[in-house]
Structure 1
Amino acid sequence: MMADDMGWGDPAYNGNPVSKTPNLDKMAAEGIVFNRFYASSPVCSPTRGSCITGRHPYRYGIFFANVGHMRKEEITLAEALKTKGYVTGHFGKWHLGTLTKIEKDANRGGPEDTADYSPPWENGFDVCFSTESKVPTWNPMITPPKTAGGVRNRIPGEPYGTAYWTGPGHKATENLEGDDSRIIMDRVIPFIKKAIKSHKPFLAVVWFHTPHLPVLTGDKYKNMYKGQSVDIQNFYGAITAMDEQIGRLRNYLKEHGLYNNTVMFFTSDNGPEGKAREGRTQGSTKGLKGRKRSLYEGGIRVPGLMTWPALIKSRKTTDIPFSTLDYYPTVLDILGFTMPDQPEPIDGISMLPFIKGNIKERQVPIGFESKKQVAFMNNRYKIYSPDQGQHFELYDIINDPQETTDISTEHPDIVKELSAELSRWRESCKRSLEYSDYKQDF
C-alpha cells in the first residue's frame, strides 16, 4: 500500500501531534517500523516503477512524473508472481504510462500520446481499478473548489477528466462518490474475496491518491479535527479516511484467517508537496530538509511499515536504510524463487535476512537521480549534488538527519569514494537505458 505525497512526519506513529492514524499506528505497534525508508525518487512515477521492478527507474526511462512508461521488457512483481499461481490486482494511481489510446484522459492519455501506452493490465495485473494520475481525494470524478489545490484551469463542479479504468476501453461508472480511498478499497475487498473463493494466493497493489492535491474530505473526517484550520481539517481528514480503509483491509484479512500469513507494506511515493506547510500542502517532514522534488531527506525519506505476523511476532524498529527498490527482491526471496529472464542488475536488496536477524547494516548503497540532482547513500554517509555531480555536499545521516552541516571539506576521502561509486552506478543506469539488460528478444 502506498500513499501519495505523504510526508515522513505525517503519521501519528511518527510523532505527529495532529494526525489521527490509528490503523497505521497498529501496524507500527505490531510490525517493523523503518526509521530510514526511502522512496527511490522525490516524485511519484519513478518511485512506482521501483516498487514493482526492484530497479531504479533511470534504467528504463521513467525519469520524472509523466515521463516515459513501463517497458514491456521489464519484469514486474505481478508478472513474476503470476508464474507461481498468484492472482494480481492493481488499485488506485498507476502513473507508469497511459491507459487509453482512444480518448483524452488525465495528463497524457489519448490518441496524441500512444507511445506511452502501458496500462497495468499489460504489465501482469489480472484485475485493475486504475487511474493514470491524480484525482481529487473526495468525489474523485468531479473538479473540487480551487481551495483544494491543484485545480488549475479546471472548472469546479465539472468532470475532473481522469477516469478509473478496469481494462482496455472500459471505465468504471458506478460507486465513484465520496472518499476516494473508500472507493478504491471497495474494489480491493471483492478482489481478495474472489481469490479466497478460488483458493488462489493474491497480490494486491493498492496505490492511494491521498493526500495528493486536490485534497479535500467529507464532514465526518473534517469534524475529527475541530479547532484546526480548514486546510488542516481537509488534509489530515483525508489521511484519516485513508487510514480507516487500511484498517478495513486488515480487519477483513483477520476475519477470513489470512492476516497472519499476509505480508503487508505501507509507504509513500515521495515527500510532501509544496514549498512550506501552507494552504492544502500541510504535509510534514518532521524537520527534515527539503520536500517533494528534492533529494534531500525530506523529499525521499518516507513512512515505512511492514507486517507479517507469521514471522514478525512483535514491534521492531531499524535504522538500517531500506528502499522501495527492496520490495521486489524481498517478495521473491520470501517465495524462494528468481525469474529466469530477470533483467539485471537489480538495485534493491531482500529484507528477509534483516527480518530473520541475519544482517545489521545494508550491504548495497542506494543511488538517486532526479533531473539535475544526484545522491548516493550508504549506512552512514550521504553525498548530494544539485548539479549532476559537479559539486558535492556530504552529510552524516546518522548524527545529522536534518542535513544541517555539510562535512565534505572535513572528509574529502569519503566524498571521493562515494562519488566514484555514484559515477559507476550512473554509468550502469545509462547502459540499462540502452536495452543492455534484457535476456529475451521482445
Structure 2
Amino acid sequence: MGWGDLGVNGEPSMETPNLDQMAREGMLLTDFYSASPLCSPSRAAMLSGRLPIRNGFYSDNAFGRNAYTPQVIVGGISPTELLLPELLQQNGYRNKIIGKWHLGHQPEYHPLKHGFHEWFGSPNCHFGPMDDKTVPNIPVYRDTDMVGRYYEDFQINRRTGESNLTQLYIQEAVTFLEKQANSGRPFFLYWAVDATHDPVYASRKFLGTSARGRYGDAVRELDYGVGEILKQVSKLGLANNTFVFFSSDNGAAKISGPRGGSNGPFLCGKETTFEGGMREPAIGWWPGKIQPQQISHQLGSLMDIFTTLLDFAGIAKPKDRHLDGTSLASVLVNNTQFDRPLFYYRGNALMAVRYGPYKAHLWTWATPEHLLKTTCGFCPGQDVINVTTSQQVDHSDTPILFHLGRDPGEKFMIKPSSPEYQNVMPGLKAIVATHKAQLVRGKPQLNWCDNAVQNWAPPGCEKLNKCLKGPPSKPFKCDWDH
C-alpha cells in the first residue's frame, strides 16, 4: 500500500473509512518509513529492529540491488537474529502471524522457529498459477504443516480477481483474539495480509465496488478487515490494554500504473529510495493511552515497532547488538518529538539520508534502463532531471539536497552554491560518516538461489498427497536486476 491510499491522507475515493476512523481515534504519523523499498528486507527489519544491511537481508552480488525471498532463494532470516516475537514469547506472550511471512521458505526459517506459536498463511507471495513441473504452486500453512496450495486449494481467479483469502485472514484474526481474551494471556498478532500485492484480489462482496478498479476493491476489503479486528478488540473489552499499529512494508508499486496504489505527493514508488518507495501510511491506536485526533511529524520507521512494543510490554531491549529502531512510546502517548536520522538503503548501498526536513541523495537510481523498455517503470509520469536516473549515479561528493517540508515530491534541488546547502550539508555528511564508521554488516542471506529449494515438498505435503519431485540441487548466484 502507498502513503496516499488512505482517505485521511487525501485519497479522494475515500475507500478506508475504518482506517480513517482509527486515525481519528488515535495518532496519524505523517513521516513514517520502511527500512527498505521492497517487501522481504522491510519485514525482516521490522521484526528485528535492525537495518537489512545489519540483519543480513540483502545481497552483495551486485551494487545497490533490491533482493527478496522468491521460491528459489536458499537463505532466510539468520538464526543469530533475535526477533520481536521471540522476546515476547520469553515473556509469556502468545504470538500469531496471519498472512505473508517472506523471511525464508525452508522449514528452518519458518515463523514457529522464530517466536510465533501459530501461523496461517504463506511463506511467499501469491504468484501463480504455476505448472508444478518447473515451478510449484506456493503452499499455505497452518502452523508447521501446509494445508494446501494457492490456485489449487486456495483459489485466486486471475481473470476476475476473486478470492476469499482476505476473509479467511479476517476470521483467523477475530478467532485468535477471542481465544486470547478467554485465556487472559497477553498476545501479539501480526496481521500481514497481501491482497493489494500483484496479482491483486478481493472477495465477491468487494469486487467492482471501487472507483479505482480491482486495487481499490482490495483496499476496501483490507480496510473492512481492520474495522472487524478493532470491533473485536473493543467487543472483548481489550481496547484499553491493546496497542494497535497499522502500516505497510513499502510504497505502492507504480510499475503497475493505474492498476496500482497511490503514494500521494511523493516521488516514484516501490523499489526506489525516493519518498514514494519508503514513506508509509502509519496509524497508532490505543484508547485511553493514545489521545484521539493526534498528528505527529516525528520521523519514524518500521524498525521502531520493535523497540516501541518492548517498551510498552516492559521488556528490556537486547544489549548484545546494535538496534536501529527507536522507541516511539513517548511520541505516541505524549506527542513528543526528537531529532534522529533515517537511512535509505537499496540493497547494500546507502542511497540517501534524512535528518529533520532535509534529505540528501548520495546515489540516485530509479528504474533500471533495461526495464524501461518493457514496463512503465517505477516512476511513471514523474521524471525529474538528474534525479530519477535510469542508471546508478554517484553524488557522494556533492549530494542532491531537498527540503521535504516545502518540497515533498523531491522536485526542486537546493543549489550547492546556496547558503542553505552550505549550512546543512556538512551536518548530513557527518551523520553519514558516523553511520558508515560504526556499521557492522551482517552476512548477506540473499546471494544464493537454487531451483531445488522451491516449495516442492513442504512439511505436511505427504498428508495431503501434494509432495512434488524437484530437480537436483544446483546452486547459483541470484541475479537481482532492480
Q: What pairs up with 1:231-380 in 2 under 5 angstroms?
A: 232-275=212-255, 277-278=257-258, 280-281=259-260, 283-339=261-317, 341-357=318-334, 359-362=336-339, 364-371=340-347, 372=349, 374-380=351-357
Asked if 2 retains the 8 angstrom alpha-carbon contact of 1:90 and 1:206, the reply is yes
Q: Tell me the residue number matched to 1:423.
A: 433
Equivalences, count: 388
Question: 2:9 is matched with which residue?
Answer: 14
Tell me what 2:113 maps to: 122
Superposition deviation, residue 210 in structure 1:
2.4
Deviation, structure 1 residue 170: 3.5
Instruction: Determine the structure 1 residue equivalent to 2:30.
Output: 35
Gaps of 5+ in 2: 59-66, 156-162, 365-392, 446-482
2:193 equivalent in structure 1: 208
Q: Which amino acid aligns with 1:355?
A: L
Distance 1:44 1:408, change over 3 A: farther
Please state whether the residue corresponding to 1:356 is helix, strand or coil: helix
Post-superposition Cα deviations, 1:321-371, rounded to whole Å, max 9, x if no partner, equal 1110110111111122214x5442111111112233373233x21112113
CA RMSD across the alignment = 2.5
Please name the residue that 1:131 is paired with. 122
Aligned AA for 1:126?
A: H
Q: Report what 1:55 is aligned to.
A: 50
Deviation at 1:218, TM superposition (A): 3.8
Letter in 2 for 1:250: L
* Structure with max Cα Rg: 2
The separation in 1 between residues aligned to 2:126 and 2:221, in whole angstroms, is 15
Tell me whether 1:392 sits opposite 2:399 in the alignment: yes
- Matched with 1:86 is 93
For 1:218 and 1:433, locate their aligned partners in 2 and report how far apart those are by CA, in whole Å: 41
Q: 1:124 to 1:342 in 2, by over 3 A?
A: farther
Q: Normalized against structure 2, the TM-score is what?
A: 0.75
Per-residue CA distance 1:416-441 (angstroms, 9 max, x = gap): 32133223323433345599xxxxxx
Aligned to 1:105: none
Query: Is 1:188–2:173 an aligned residue pair?
Result: yes
Structure 1's unaligned 5+ residue stretches are 1-5, 101-116, 137-141, 144-153, 436-442
Deviation at 1:413, TM superposition (A): 4.5
State the SS of the aligned residue for 1:121. Answer: helix
- Structure 1 Cα separation of the partners of residues 15 and 436 of structure 2: 40
CA distance in 2: counterparts of 1:218 and 1:182, whole angstroms: 7
Moved more, 395-404 or 214-223: 214-223
Q: How far, CA to CA, are the matches of 2:443 and 2:437 in structure 1? A: 10
Letter in 1 for 2:193: F
The one-letter amino acid of 1:395's match is F
**Is the aligned partner of 1:401 residue 2:408?**
yes
Shift of residue 412, structure 1, vs aligned partner: 3.6
